Amino acid sequence: MVNFAGCELPINYGSQIDEHHCVRTDAGMFDVSHMTVVGIHGPETRAFLSRLLANDVAKLQTPGKALYTCMLNESGGVIDDLIAYHLDEEWFRLVVNAATRDKGLAWLERQGAEFSISVTEHHELGMIAVQGPNAREKVHSLFEADIAAELRELKPFNALIHGEYFIARTGYTGEDGYEILMYGNLAVPFWDRLLEAGVKPCGLGARDTLRLEAGMNLYGQDMDEDVTPLVSGLAWTVAMKDERDFIGRPMLEEQKAQGLPSKLVGLVLEGRGVLRPDQKVITPAGEGITTSGGFSPTLQMAIAFARVPMGAIDSCEVEIRGKRLPARIVKPPFVRNGQACEGIL
């Protein structure tokens, strides 16, 4: 067990490698009740979120539709990355990181003071993520036939409400599945039913190797308040095609005009060794640094994210324990649908 944002969470329930492979080949579940769930209510909810978020909530027109986005400070740095769900015109739900809870809630309150909205943190909700190629069918088996049929039609990055369950087809592993919100008293019985359905419990260790393989950023390592989404591999989450005035936009426009100082890339170590955060990366274009790193159970090799100069391509070296080891620069993700992506191996 480890203390994470004030919660006691398991690194693994047995074998971290087995848990990783289970998610890639079958179905695993994660207790992610530590995540912060926030309700935004009021007649100016959409206007508030349009100002607050780098991605454009105008894309959310259908109830249940979800959007991945970043919440930026005035300097364009990332206060948090989150998923916003549109439930109705005066009710959106945000799911944000536990580690940024205090500063994120304070920012929401501060920025929301100018709008007719309310910000409500939902401590009473638990959250279980069920991920893997067989995850959806195993979840469907726990519900009535009509709800299971509706879930089969649910598109990625959409959600539905069934009684006391909020079921979203989202996740953080690169596999299909659901993130399910429910009242805390329902979480343990639901977890036990998933166990009976053959879903394997998984801990933080597997969650990290899965998200790294899938090319998904981790807040505090691959992005933070001092780094913009443009240099964190998250330019696709920034909507700047119209004149929408969101917090941080002037700094992003300035950065684009001046030219980005660096970029986030993937690294594959050539040969044996261990990639970790904060290792020096040497390229012909200059030096960079790893931000996340680890051993990929799927690929059976060391992989990492690194922030490197814009001109860095193809090959580099990583300094590990005083030695420079050769590595390749690649474009994440490393793994999709349980298989190595093109150009990784």
Cβ atoms < 10 Å from Cβ of 187: 18
Q: Is there a single domain that holds both residue 267 and residue 205?
A: no
Would you place residue 193 in the very low, low, confident or very high pLDDT band (cuts 50, 70, 90)? very high
Mean local confidence (pLDDT), 230-234: 97
Q: Are residues 317 and 175 part of one domain?
A: no
For residue 338, the domain's CATH number is: 2.40.30.110
d(CA 247, CA 134) in angstroms, rounded, equals: 40
What tokens appear for 63 in the block? Answer: 């109830």
The model's pTM:
0.96
Are residues 340 and 192 part of one domain?
no
Give the distance from CA 293 to its chain's centroid: 16
Same domain, 205 and 268: no
Tokens of 120: 């409500």
Torsion angle (degrees, nearest 10) of CA 24, 29, 33, 38: 60
DSSP string, 57-96: GGG--STTBEEEEEEE-TTS-EEEEEEEEEEETTEEEEEE
Model confidence band, residue 2 (pLDDT cutoffs 50, 70, 90): confident
Are residues 194 and 53 both part of a single domain?
Answer: yes
pLDDT above 80 for 5:
no
d(CA 50, CA 35): 23
301 and 170 inside one domain: no
The pLDDT assigned to 3 comes to 83
Q: Check residue 76 and give left, alpha or beta (phi > 0: left; psi -120 to 50: alpha).
A: left
Categorise residue 44: left if φ over 0, alpha if ψ from -120 to 50, beta otherwise. alpha
Could you give the angle at the alpha carbon of 269 between the alpha carbons of 264 and 274, nearest 5°? 100
pLDDT in tens, 249-306: 999 999 999 999 999 999 999 989 999 999 999 999 999 999 999 999 999 999 999 9
Q: What is the pLDDT of residues 33-46, one digit of tens each?
A: 999 999 999 999 99
pLDDT reading at 7 higher than 90:
no
Last residue of a domain, one of 175, 196, 211: 211
User: 3-class SS at 151?
Assistant: helix
Any domain includes 115? yes
pLDDT per position as a tens digit, 131-177: 999 999 999 999 999 999 999 999 999 999 999 999 999 999 999 99
| pLDDT at 9 (0 to 100) | 87
Neighbours of 74 (CB within 10 A): 10
Sheet holding 78-88, edge to edge: 66-72, 78-88, 91-96, 36-41, 118-121
Per-residue pLDDT, 65: 98
Beta-bridge mates of residue 295: 302
Kindly state whether residues 205 and 267 are assigned to the same domain. no
**Residues of the domain holding 66:** 2-211
pLDDT band at 52 (very low <50, low <70, confident <90, very high): very high
Do 265 and 205 share a structural domain?
Answer: no
Query: Does 240 fall in a domain?
Result: no
What residues form DSSP beta bridges with 322? Answer: none
Rounded CA-CA distance 79/101 in Å is 10
